[in-house]
Amino acid sequence: MEYTINIRGQLVDLGQPRVMGIINVTPDSFYDGSRCQSVDAIAARARQIAAEGAAIIDVGACSTRPGGELASEADEMARLRWALPVVRRAVHDAVISVDTFRPDVARMAVEELGADIINDVGSPAVSAVAMFRMVSRLRVPYILMSSQPTLREMLLTFAEQVQQLRDLGQKDIILDPGFGFGKTLEQNYAVMNRLEELLVMELPLLVGVSRKSMVSRLLGTSPAEALNGTTVLHTVALQKGASILRVHDVRAAVECCRLFGQLKIED
């Protein structure tokens, strides 16, 4: 399907799959290769993401890894106030997404720091409606993630939530099936196996499987050794209609998208 999203008044085409590169300004994200704890490290990572061909830079300031301790809202805000200007200076024309589940953090990131997209990882402790109201007021593209364990429950919940967002006036919505959130290993693969069924929503899909435990646990490796498995799942996701890959390894994902795109041309 052909999709576009509105970024600062410019339409961004998602007809060809795009890559979102990850920067974590946290000390405890599950994959240490994405952690950036200094101005120089953030700037270098942002430039690397752009140079390797990513369309979006996703900045997270509160780790949601299983078993981890959530940063306070104040700490999350402080990290973003420090990090986002560094990213913008390093890549002045970057499309910046902020990974958060807190409405007030979303407001600050967009209104004070110029973030372009809100990537909502969700939280049982935070009202989804509160975030829906916030992003509909901010008028930026919104990534809606599901922690539902099965595709059937996911579709039912997405249908209800998308209608709520539409009723509030939200225009650009991207769906994330939430691999690794609220799902067993087997449930993650069951959702991946039928991922194309989410296209019935007629909205772009973001897939985030990069170096996650659904890869490393199945293969008996570590996140540091999970790039090959990640690339295999990226290929499957593209075949099933993913529009955005959220990744740690930008170059590998961009190459995957280019090869997949060539196959589509030849077809």
Which tens digits make up the pLDDT trace of 113-168? 999 999 998 866 567 899 999 999 999 999 999 999 999 999 999 999 999 999 99
Distance from C-alpha of 13 to C-alpha of 265, rounded to nearest angstrom:
17
DSSP run (H or E) holding 4 = strand 4-7
Confidence of residue 67 (pLDDT cuts 50, 70, 90): low
Hey, which bits of 61-185 come out as E strands? 96-100, 117-120, 142-145, 173-176
- The β-bridge partners of 205 are 175
From 137, 194, 212, 264, the catalytic residue:
212
| 237 pLDDT higher than 80 | yes
| 35 pLDDT higher than 70 | no
**How many other C-beta atoms lie within 10 A of the C-beta of residue 248?**
23
251 in catalytic set? no
From 79, 246, 251, 264, the catalytic residue:
246
Range 188-202 average pLDDT: 98
pTM comes to 0.93
Q: What average pLDDT does the structure give for the chain?
A: 92
Query: Lowest-confidence range among 54-68, 126-140, 147-161, 192-206?
Result: 54-68
212 in catalytic set? yes
| 226 pLDDT higher than 90 | yes
DSSP run (H or E) holding 238 = helix 227-239
The reported pLDDT for the residue numbered 173 is 97
Distance from C-alpha of 139 to C-alpha of 117, rounded to nearest angstrom:
9
Per the CB < 8 A criterion, the answer to whether 141 and 133 are in contact is no
Nearest to 146 by CA among 201, 74, 104, 95: 201
